[in-house]
Amino acid sequence: MVKRKISGMEPVRWSDGQVEWILQNRIPWEETWKKSPSVEELARGIETLEMRGAPVIGMAAAYGMALSAHNYKGRDVSGMAQYIEKDRERLAKTRPTAVNLFWALDRMSRRLVRLIEDGGDVDAVMEGMLREARALQKENAEDSRRMGENGKDLIEDGDVVLTHCNTGPLACGGIGTSTGVILSAWEEGRDFRVVATHTAPLYQGARLTVWEFMKMGVPVTLITDSMAAYAMKNEGITKVFLGADRILLDGHVANKIGTYQLAVLADYHKIPFYVAAPMSTVDSKSSSIQIEMRRQDEVRNVLGKLQITMPDVPVFNPAFDVTPPELISAIVTERGVAKKPYGESLSSML
Ligand code: MRU
């Protein structure tokens, strides 16, 4: 059997009292890191997709809370919680759909309350917040490996796996979610190929997924989003694998716009449709999902550079859609592979 080695990465990290992140909006043209001591700049980085992908948004928010604690240094501990709460509110306003953002903010807030109750000084609270953000990042990377292990046998020799948007190390840390499953099957020595969609209007598939798979030597072919039905019918697509930004307990999955249409097409062509996501993407509290509406110019222009339509045409630009559970064959998590009915399988994994 061919022995292959895959590797993960951490696209957001703590660096000397600042947060540092790789600028995903510059890939594949350049690999540039940005470093900032400002929570506001970090929040804008999330909004403008310098950092993106549900798990990485959560990690950025966790480091944002640690950064807020760090920026409070030299003052009295009594005002610390209030100071950090303001930054938390700013971070919570960045992107509404990926639940990992709120999951990470809640975890960091709970830690903050405990640290302050323990009676430590400002430095002790800051250290505790940084430890928590680092722990979250470490667990996330370990979970991505577990997801890969749990899902890798769903990919067999000869498969042609269609994926959408970007679910690799850039979006998720570690080895990624859905991409992590694909990479784990690749590491195992399986022979298959990947078909990646452009993912309009911001081209996460063309720019990021292709970049990641090509770097790791996994055969990948690029198609536009509108070629999916043709590719399923004529190009031998055998599986669809993608990620999630929020999963309701009943199995409704919010993911990058275009996911729902791929699920409908996969159902029509009788192709298994798999989702891979960590349990931090499962929202056990909500019964509906807020879809982020983004700027109209993202559709009027190609990546802010070339205007491709009339400048004032009205645009509809939802960043995500919701796929109903009946179209999803299974959901791979770090705790196992959830099958229908998802209400039962996901609840038992929580
Ligand atoms: O708008 P984005 O690029 O943050 O959207 C990302 C996705 O939809 C991913 O597929 C998702 O976060 C799942 S795994 C990272």
Protein residue whose Cα sits closest to atom 8 of ligand 1: 256
> 149-349 maps to which CATH number?
3.40.50.10470
- Going from N- to C-terminal start, the domains of the chain cover 12-145, 149-349
**87 catalytic, yes or no?**
no
CA of 52 relative to ligand 1 center, distance in Å: 7
- What radius of gyration do the chain's Cα atoms show? 20
Number of the ligand 1 atom closest to the C-alpha atom of 164: 10
CA of 54 relative to ligand 1 center, distance in Å: 6
Cβ 327 vs Cβ 240: under 8 Å: no
Ligand 1 pocket test: pick from 175, 182, 204 the residue with the most ligand atoms within 8 Å of its Cβ.
204
> Would you identify the CATH topology of the domain 12-145?
Four Helix Bundle (Hemerythrin (Met), subunit A) (1.20.120)
CA of 122 relative to ligand 1 center, distance in Å: 35
CA of 83 relative to ligand 1 center, distance in Å: 30
Q: What is the pLDDT of residue 174?
A: 97
195-207 in b/e form (b: 16+ CB < 10 A) is bbbbbbbbbbbbb
Q: Which two tokens stand for residue 92?
A: 């919570």
Catalytic residue among 159, 245, 283, 321: 245
Ligand 1 pocket test: pick from 27, 52, 199 the residue with the most ligand atoms within 8 Å of its Cβ.
52
Ligand 1 pocket test: pick from 46, 199, 246, 256 the residue with the most ligand atoms within 8 Å of its Cβ.
256
Number of the ligand 1 atom closest to the C-alpha atom of 292: 1
Q: What is the pLDDT of residue 3?
A: 73
Q: What is the pLDDT of residue 1?
A: 66
Mean pLDDT by 10 residues, the chain (350 residues): 86 97 98 98 98 97 98 95 98 97 98 96 97 98 98 98 98 98 97 98 98 97 98 97 98 98 98 98 96 98 96 98 98 98 96
How many residues in total does the chain contain?
A: 350
Of 291, 292, 312, the C-alpha closest to 300 is 312
CA of 171 relative to ligand 1 center, distance in Å: 7
CA of 120 relative to ligand 1 center, distance in Å: 38
Protein residue whose Cα sits closest to atom 10 of ligand 1: 243
Q: What is the pLDDT of residue 339?
A: 98
**Ligand 1: residues within 6 Å at CB?**
49, 52-55, 98, 165, 167, 171-172, 177, 204, 242-245, 255-256, 319
Protein residue whose Cα sits closest to atom 9 of ligand 1: 53
Q: What is the pLDDT of residue 123?
A: 97
- Beginning with the edge strand found earlier in the chain, give each strand of the sheet holding 220-223 in spatial order: 220-223, 193-197, 160-163, 239-242, 273-276, 330-333, 336-338
Number of the ligand 1 atom closest to the C-alpha atom of 55: 15
Number of the ligand 1 atom closest to the C-alpha atom of 54: 12
Tell me the C-alpha distance between 50 and 27, whole Å: 10
Q: Which two tokens stand for residue 105?
A: 């903010």
Q: Strands, DSSP E only, in 244-319?
A: 246-248, 253-256, 273-276, 282-283, 301-302, 306-307
Inter-CA distances, 137 with 60, 62, 214, Å: 10, 9, 25
